[in-house]
């Protein structure tokens, strides 16, 4: 039975909304809590918690980080019908189709080329037993449905995007980050350069262990 309009929000319900909004739609969250979508949207508006995505659509904030355009500019484009977007039912937010966004050097993001290095890093860092087809499918899903997107250029000044993704498969759920750079060839889709752990700070590379060995600390698995 759906709850009445004046039912108080419990702390565990509020925590659930804050965590689930990154990978669940508002109607799904409402169904899990036994509330109406409008009630969930009202709570989100009061607490400044905004939906990240619904299906293949992302909020103006995520779309802004993808394109480099201001949210107000994207909203104006949506109102003019120049990008595919829709309003959240019962709310004031616009949701943007990730495949229709104008992304200069990151155009055709959903069609990005997956490098051999990215597949190898997925297997090393995320799932050693995953077949290549499953890895490619997971990365393709992440490109279409990013949980969050951050514009973070590389140390040499190369423009780059870091996409955080939560992808469910028949076997398990993957959480990982993709680093995407523009293609070196004009007119070609961008390239998925590498795959990182879903949480910042987990990935330790060659430089980290080189510094440890210089201090006499053995690498994990090496004899002291």
Res 178: pLDDT: 93
Q: How confident is the model at residue 179 (pLDDT cuts 50, 70, 90)?
A: very high
Burial string for 212-224 (b: 16+ CB within 10 Å, else e) reads: eeeeeeeeeeeee
Token readout for 199 is 């949480």
Rounded to two decimals, what is the model's pTM? 0.50
- Contact by Cβ (8 Å): 149, 65: yes
Highest mean predicted confidence (pLDDT) among 36-40, 67-71, 110-114, 192-196: 192-196
Q: Is the predicted pLDDT of residue 176 greater than 90, yes or no?
A: yes
The tens digit of pLDDT for each residue in 82-137 reads 788 887 665 667 888 766 666 656 656 778 899 999 999 999 999 999 999 999 99
Q: Which pLDDT band, with edges at 50, 70 and 90, does 204 fall under?
A: very low
Is residue 1 over pLDDT 50?
no
Q: Measuring CA to CA, which residue among 110, 109, 112, 132 is closest to residue 120?
A: 132
- Determine which of 95-104, 141-150, 188-197 has the lowest per-residue pLDDT on average: 95-104
């Amino acid at each position: 039975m759906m709850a009445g309009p004046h039912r108080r929000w419990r702390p565990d319900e509020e925590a659930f909304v804050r965590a689930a909004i990154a990978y669940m739609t508002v109607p799904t969250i409402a169904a899990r809590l036994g509330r109406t979508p409008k009630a969930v949207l009202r709570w989100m508006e009061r607490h400044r918690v905004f939906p990240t995505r619904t299906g293949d659509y992302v909020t103006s904030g995520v779309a802004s980080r993808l394109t480099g355009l201001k949210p107000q500019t994207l909203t104006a484009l949506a109102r003019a019908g120049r990008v595919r977007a829709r309003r959240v039912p019962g709310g004031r937010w616009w949701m943007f189709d990730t495949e229709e966004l104008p992304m200069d050097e990151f155009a055709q993001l959903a069609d990005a080329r997956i490098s051999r290095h990215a597949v190898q890093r997925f297997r090393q860092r995320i799932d050693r037993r995953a077949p290549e087809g499953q890895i490619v499918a997971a990365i393709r899903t992440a490109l279409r449905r990013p949980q969050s997107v951050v514009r973070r250029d590389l140390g040499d000044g190369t423009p780059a995007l870091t996409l955080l993704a939560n992808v469910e498969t028949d076997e398990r759920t993957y959480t990982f980050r993709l680093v995407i750079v523009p293609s070196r060839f004009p007119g070609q889709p961008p390239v998925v350069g590498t795959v990182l752990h879903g949480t910042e700070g987990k990935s330790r590379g060659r430089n980290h262990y080189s510094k440890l060995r210089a201090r006499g600390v053995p690498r994990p698995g090496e004899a002291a």
